[in-house]
Amino acid sequence: MSGNIVILTGAGISAESGIPTFRAADGLWEGHRVEDVATPEAYERQPEVVQKFYNERRRYLLNGIEANEGHRALARLEAEYPSEVLLVTQNIDNLHEKGGSQKVLHMHGELLKGRCLACGEECEVVGDLGPDSQCSLCEERGKIRPAIVWFGEMPDHMPQIEKALMEADLFLSVGTSGQVYPAAGFVEIARVAGAETIEVNLDETIGSSRFARTVRGKAGETLPGLVEELLNRP
Ligand code: OAD
């Protein structure tokens, strides 16, 4: 088989690199309620609280967090597979890129980018953002927000993703709880379009029954074998 592949990844693929997943048992994200840090309303109300939250995540990411075997396996698939492989991630970290993936669509934005609310342009961000941050393009100060898609905002790259799902022969979902739409609905789009569907997850998820095949286990341990299998298919 060498038809097109669409891969969707979530927080689970970065867990083995040391980045906590979102849905901990207490329902909080690293001690915060979602509506306090991940909505446009929160940013309007308390920009400093939201900036601090993402500044902490960014510092943590840049302090020695590395890609793991799961990221590297997906990069190998992209490099060696004879047809199109589109990697769509809900993750805001840069670990797919660090693992060697060339073509990554970040549908929920990127921690290492900011968007200037004055000129609308995106820029690289490696330090903290705050009221003094200056846009390198329009030079306005204090107008750069994290380039993260918050609840209530439209995910990025949706037309391109939907087109790829409609044309996919295999849809592979890795390390996502399947609780956040539209990503949670991708399996259905691909399945209806005739794609084979595989889920890789540590546990059963709310969406597991929608997949033709489920692979239980850690992404870093199961993906290298699965990728080998896909590359060796006739
Ligand atoms: P979740 O935290 O909801 O789910 C993580 C999933 O990874 C769970 O199903 C775990 O069982 C699984 N998992 C954990 N460790 C794993 C491992 N080593 N290998 C494989 N699977 C593992 O994270 P997401 O589904 O990514 O959105 O969350 C989706 C979105 O919700 C996020 O992108 C974020 C959040 O709200 C925004 O910020 C807009």
Ligand 1 atom nearest residue 9's Cα? 26
Which residue has a Cα nearest atom 18 of ligand 1? 218
For ligand 1, the distance from its centroid to the CA atom of residue 13, given in whole angstroms, is 8
* Residue 115, beta-bridge partner list: 122, 145
- Look up residue 116 and give its two tokens: 């200037």
Ligand 1 atom nearest residue 38's Cα? 38
Which residue has a Cα nearest atom 35 of ligand 1? 22
* pLDDT score for 33: 84
Closest CA to 220 of 18, 56, 49: 18
Cβ-contact 37, 116 below 8 angstroms: no
Compute the distance between CA of residue 156 and CA of residue 108 in angstroms, rounded to an integer.
6
pLDDT tens for each residue of the chain, 234 residues long: 568 999 999 999 999 999 988 876 565 677 788 888 999 999 999 999 999 999 999 999 999 999 999 999 999 999 999 999 999 999 999 999 999 999 999 999 999 999 999 999 999 999 999 999 999 899 999 999 999 999 999 999 999 999 999 999 999 999 999 999 999 999 999 999 999 999 999 999 999 999 999 999 999 999 999 999 999 998
Question: How does pLDDT run across 163-220, given as a tens digit for each residue?
Answer: 999 999 999 999 999 999 999 999 999 999 999 999 999 999 999 999 999 999 999 9
For ligand 1, the distance from its centroid to the CA atom of residue 142, given in whole angstroms, is 31
| Residues sharing a CB contact under 8 Å with residue 154, sequence separation 6 or more, in sequence order | none
Compute the distance between CA of residue 167 and CA of residue 87 in angstroms, rounded to an integer.
14
Compute the distance between CA of residue 223 and CA of residue 78 in angstroms, rounded to an integer.
13
Residues that are catalytic:
108
- Rg, C-alpha atoms of the chain: 18
Phi, psi of 7, rounded to the nearest 5 degrees: -115, 135
For ligand 1, the distance from its centroid to the CA atom of residue 22, given in whole angstroms, is 6
| Residues sharing a CB contact under 8 Å with residue 149, sequence separation 6 or more, in sequence order | 107, 108, 109, 155, 156
Ligand 1 atom nearest residue 24's Cα? 2
